[in-house]
Structure formats: structure tokens, C-alpha cells
Amino acid sequence: MKRSDVGTLPFCPVSSQGEQMMAMGGVEFDSKVSFLDAEMSDIRHALLRRDPLSAAKEVLYHLDISLSSAMQSSGGATPGLEKSTVELVEEFIFHSPKDRNVQPKKMSCIQELQLLEIMCSYFQEQNKDALRQIMFSTLFSLQGNKGDESRMAMLGKLVSMAIAVCRVPILECAVTWLQRTHSAWCVRLAQVLMDDYCTLVPSAITTLQNISTASPRFCCQLITAVTALYDFSSDELTPPLALLELLVGWITDDPRLLLLTFINTPLSSSLPLGCLEITPLLGLLRWCVKSPLANHRSHKPTLNNGLEEGEKRTVHEELYSKLHLSVLQVFLMLQVCSQQRQL
């Protein structure tokens, strides 16, 4: 099968043998010639002649082949990628060109949405969990360079889309990302999601309600990140009422939700420096202690929804009272879990 016009074909996981053929700007690939065997400079120049979406699809396609082949060669161990392949990802997916003199081709909003849909389909349809996790990590692990801003922007949009269309495999990959990434970046991802589902379209928060059953592990990590985001230092960093109602509902329905990361983390594993806390318990406890600050800071006589200030304070107090009780109950459960794990 020749893929001379990849722009007309959907991107999908390849077979373990990578038996695919394509022609790309005069450089032909088949089952006997891997992506890494060709001259990267020729590949790069061929990609530069393509439109941004088509070039990004090609890089994703070959990244999948390269990782699949590397996993087979390494016997299932986490494979490494050559620097040249990483540079292609940086340049053609995250638009951080290797050559500063080259003006990167930016995708239009429609092309970016199409790329996100392609990524959604790939992670949903990839039936090998290990390859899916490594692919996600390769794309979105922060590298400490100028491409990280673009990487974070695309990650936020991808996870937001995954929530909207309930793509559980992507949410499960995001769980691992949240566990291994510095908390400052996790808070940025949480901010994007809260903007999308609480601020820009407040009614959209109902979309989050089913996440606790679709992906409880992601739900637990999201709560941890959200508690790190909202520290009550300002009105903007005070939990919105709709979010507070949602979290209290989640925890009331299933208190063990707060312990999922703790329960599923091996005793021998060491957490990276600066990562999120292993449970959201301390963050939620801080919320309960600091909640009076939100009431004192509120000075508007009437809310947009018609509730008077006194009624608003009463609603907040009741929610934080429920939250405080639930957190104390989970602390008792934590004691039992710790004894079972001989901690």
C-alpha cells in the first residue's frame, strides 16, 4: 500500500511489524526500511514542503513505527529515541524549529482541531497499553526547552477534548503524566481544564460529572492538581461554587476515590521531586481551613443568579462542612489502608 497522499488517510496505529509503505517527497519507506534508516535531512526537507497538518500526521505515523520497533528490540523495556526523531517531533508537531532562521508553518485552528482528533483516535484505538503510554510520554514529557509551551498548550487541548468525548485511554495516560511531572506544570494543566469547564462555559462542568466513573484514577489526580491550583490567595484562586459542589458530590458518593493513587502506587516506587502529593487529602484539608477567607473576601451584595450574600455564605459553609466530614472519614480509611500495606 502506498501512501503518497497521506493527507487523505486517517492516522491509525500500525502493526507490530510496521508493514506499511509510503512515498514522501521522493523518499520511499517500506517494511524493510525504517524511518530512522533514512537520512533525516532528506525527510525534514520533504516534510517542509508539506502543509503543517500533513507533516504532523507523517511524524506521528513514523513515531508510532519507531517506538513499536524499539519496544520489540528492547524486549518491552522503555525504548529511547534518536535525537533526530525528537527534533522532528519538536519542529513539525510543536512548531519549535531546529533552525532559528526558518519560520515555522503554523496550523490554522481547523488544522489544529483535526490534529487533535487524529491524536484522540490514535490513543483510543491503540490496543497496546505500553505503546500508548510511551507514545504519550514521548509527545508530552517536558524537555526543558522552548517547545514546552507549545507542548503544554496541545496537551491541555487534548485532555480537554478527551474529557468532552470521554476518551478514557487518553485520561489514563494523563494520570501517569500528572504523577511524573512537576506540580507547577500539573497546576497549569488544571488551570486550562478549569477555564474550559468552569469559567468560559460554566454549564460545561456537568460534563465532568461522569469522569469519576469513567476514569476514577484521572479524577483523583485532577482533584489533587485542583487543590494545588486554588490556594485562596485571591478571588481568582478561590474554588468556584460549581466546582466545589462537584467535588463534594464525587467524594460523598465514593470516598475511596481520594485514595486511588495512594493504593495503586507501589511501596518501592520513588516519586519525582516536586511532583503532586500522593493523595488530595492535605489539599482538601487546607481548603476546609482556609474556606472562611472566601466568605470574608466576598463583598458583593447580590450574585448574578439572584442569591443574596448571606445565602451564598450559607451554601459555602454547608459544602465545606460536608467536605470536612468526608475528608475526616477518608483519613480513618487511610489508617486502615496503611495498616493493610504495613506502613
Q: What is the mean pLDDT of residues 298-304?
A: 51
283, with CB counted inside 10 A (0-12, 13-18, 19+), is buried
Q: How many domains does the chain have?
A: 1
The answer to whether the Cα torsion of 127, 130, 132, 135 is positive or negative is negative
On whether residue 1 sits in a domain, the answer given is: yes
Least confident of 33-37, 112-116, 201-205, 236-240: 33-37
Distance, in Å, from the CA atom of 64 to the CA atom of 135, rounded to the nearest integer, reads: 7
Separation of alpha carbons 340 and 333, rounded Å? 11
Phi and psi angles of residue 22, each rounded to the nearest 5 degrees, phi first: -155, 155
Helix (H, G, I), strand (E, B) or coil at 33: strand
> What's the mean pLDDT in 193-197?
94
Q: Tens digits of per-residue pLDDT, 149-162?
A: 999 999 999 999 99
Return the number of other C-beta atoms located less than 10 Å from residue 194's C-beta: 21
Q: Is residue 95 domain-resident? A: yes
Residue 80 lies in a domain: yes
Mean pLDDT within 221-233: 95
Query: What pTM was estimated for this model as a whole?
Result: 0.82
Q: How far apart are CA 290 and CA 242, in angstroms?
A: 18
| Helix, strand, coil content of the chain in percent (nearest 5) | 65, 5, 30
pLDDT attached to residue 310: 65
User: Is 306 inside any structural domain?
Assistant: no
SS3 (DSSP) at 44: helix
pLDDT given for residue 273 in this prediction:
82
Closest CA to 94 of 46, 14, 151: 151
Q: How far is CA 253 from the centre of its chain?
A: 25
- Domain assignment present for 181: no
Task: Assess contact for 46 and 61: CB atoms under 8 A.
Answer: no
Mean pLDDT of 72-82: 69
* Residue corresponding to grid cell 477518608: 330
Q: Which has more pLDDT, 79 or 14?
A: 79
Residue 166 falls within a domain, yes or no?
no
Question: Which structural domain range is residue 2 located in?
Answer: 1-106
In a domain, 27, yes or no: yes
As a dihedral over the C-alpha atoms of residue 233, residue 237, residue 242, residue 244, rounded to 10 degrees, the angle is: -50
Q: How confident is the model at residue 262 (pLDDT cuts 50, 70, 90)?
A: confident
The CA R_g of the chain, rounded to the nearest whole Å, is 23
Average pLDDT over the chain, rounded to whole?
81
Yes or no: say if 204 and 193 are a contact pair by the CB < 8 Å rule: no
Say if CB 234 and CB 260 are below 8 A apart.
Answer: no
Q: Are strands 27-29 and 22-24 parallel, antiparallel or unpaired?
A: antiparallel
Residue 322 in domain: no
Q: pLDDT tens-digit profile of 122-175?
A: 999 999 999 999 999 999 998 888 889 999 999 999 999 999 999 999 999 999
**What pLDDT does residue 32 have?**
35
Q: Which amino acid is at 103?
A: Q
